[in-house]
Amino acid sequence: MLSRTLFVAFLFVACCGSTKGESNKPFGADFPKLDSDAVGEWWKTKGKRGNGPRLMVPRDEVLGFAVYTVAHGTLKLTAQLFPLLPDESREVVLEVRPAGDAAWRKVAVEKVLYPGWSAHFRVKDWDATRDFDYRLSHGENATFEGLIRKDPIDKETIVVGSLSCNSSRTPGPRPRMVENLMKQNPDLLFFAGDQSYHHTQHTFGWLEFGMQFRELMKDRPTITIPDDHDVGQANIWGENGKKARTPAGPAGGFFYPASYVNMVQRCQTWHLPDPFDATPIERGIGVYYTNLLLGGIDFAILEDRKFKSGPQGKIPKMGPRPDHINDPAYDRASVDLPELKLLGDRQLQFLDQWTDD
């Protein structure tokens, strides 16, 4: 899917510029090539093999996939699109109907956000006692359909499909994995991070992941949370959002611009229930830690890296890298220091309240 090229559309727009408000360098002059497969005049990119833009698809297939959750009486759904051409609509329509009914009902129209090419729907007063079909529409011909499942509160066993680390070294479909998961019919999907290993090309990597698993995700609630490679780093010791010195990150912080980190988080986590405390951390980087009640089980969704202290310069070096300890006899007390953070005070406060409920 990602390697297909629609040459007619490519030739038609080759002389056109980006749509007003869509900057060619949305992440600043210091990072002009960040997410370059999907920003600016993306349709002019040559791709790694010189065979044209990697994200060009037939225009009736621009709706790539969708992810959603239902919590506290609210449906939150993200529609992920392939990059749009300058003359194409920047709106997506959401329609729903009780499962099996004939008539669709339009419930919302939302703008496609750039960079990232995602549209986000919030529908309040959602009836979680029944199944609903949903249909997303873009332009005249692009549609994508799925199922909003009812809350499985009447089930004795809740099945969770848990996956992580979706290697970019094995591109293409995941038919065996998807087929086996379909047989398990999970009530909830959890993708624990590294949905993309394309580092500085998140939109490409996120779409690659989504196309691999969309047949699973479209019909059931899904939790996706980003990890280090999703935001272009070898490791993340987020340290409350400070600026990292290098993409390796051992001294703590995020290396790439906050706008890039926030784009990644928007695409991967906007559909989660609203954060417990949405106050951004340093440099305006957002947070998403929250909880999801499904089937009578209350799931805490944590950010295990965002507040974590970087080891470099804070603990004794005991391996080839600041974050490696390869001596099994090391003194545990040497790294258990009161000033170091793991989950962070804010998430500990959240967990205190979550466990009391």
pLDDT of residue 68: 99
* In-domain check, residue 45: no
Which tens digits make up the pLDDT trace of 162-211? Answer: 999 999 999 999 999 999 999 999 999 999 999 999 999 999 999 999 99
Q: State residue 7's pLDDT score.
A: 32
Residue 10 lies in a domain: no
Q: Binning pLDDT at 50, 70 and 90, where does residue 18 land?
A: low
Name which of 118, 119, 2, 14 is nearest 61 in CA terms: 2
Look at residue 25 and tell me if it is in a domain: no
Q: Answer yes or no: is 36 within a domain.
A: no
Question: Could you report the per-residue pLDDT of 307-322, keeping only the tens digit for each?
Answer: 999 999 999 888 899 9
As a three-state string, the secondary structure of 75-117 is EEEEEEECCCCCCCCCEEEEEEEECCCCCCEEEEEEECECCCC
Task: Give the pLDDT score at 287.
Answer: 98
Domain for residue 83, yes or no? yes
The pLDDT-based confidence of 13 (bands split at 50, 70, 90) is very low
Q: Which whole number is the average pLDDT over 262-288?
A: 98
Closest alpha carbon to 303 in 250, 342, 267, 260: 342
Radius of gyration of the chain (CA): 21
Whether the pLDDT of residue 142 is over 70: the answer is yes
pLDDT level of residue 32 (50, 70, 90 thresholds): very high
- At 261 the pLDDT is 98
- The pLDDT value recorded for residue 21 is 77
Six token digits for residue 3: 């390697």
CA distance 33 to 48: 13
When pLDDT is cut at 50, 70 and 90, the band that residue 49 belongs to is: confident
Q: Taken in order 125, 113, 227, 217, is the CA torsion positive or negative?
A: positive
Handedness of CA 315, 316, 322, 328 (dihedral sign): negative
Average pLDDT over residues 20-33: 92
CA dihedral 203, 209, 211, 214 (to 10 degrees): -120
Question: What span, in angstroms and rounded, lies between the C-alpha atoms of 232 and 254?
Answer: 9
- pLDDT of amino acid 329: 87
Residue 336, burial from CB neighbour count under 10 angstroms (0-12, 13-18, 19+): exposed
The total domain count for the chain is 1
pLDDT at 327: 85
Q: What angle do CA 167, 283, 345 make, to 5 degrees?
A: 80
DSSP per-residue codes, 294-332 = ETTEEEEE--TTTTPPP-TTTS--BSSSTT-B--TT--G
Closest by Cα among 269, 253, 252 to 195? 269
Instruction: Calculate what percentage of the chain has a pLDDT beyond 70.
Output: 95
- Judged against a pLDDT cut of 50, whether residue 147 lies above it is answered with yes
Q: What is the pLDDT of residues 73-107, one digit of tens each?
A: 999 999 999 999 999 999 999 999 999 899 999 99
| Lowest mean pLDDT across 28-37, 155-164, 279-288, 325-334 | 325-334
- Beta-ladder partners of 297: 294
Q: How many CB atoms lie within 10 A of CB 114?
A: 19
Domain for residue 53, yes or no?
Answer: no
Q: What is the DSSP letter of 240?
A: G
> Is 32 inside a domain boundary?
no
**DSSP at 284:** G
pTM of the model: 0.93
- Average model confidence (pLDDT) across the chain: 93
DSSP letters, 139-181, are TTTEEEEEEEPPP-TT-S---EEEE----TTS-S--HHHHHHH
φ/ψ (deg, to 5) at 126: -75, 135
Query: For the chain, what's the residue count?
Result: 357
By residue range, what is the domain housing residue 295? 59-356
pLDDT of residue 12: 37
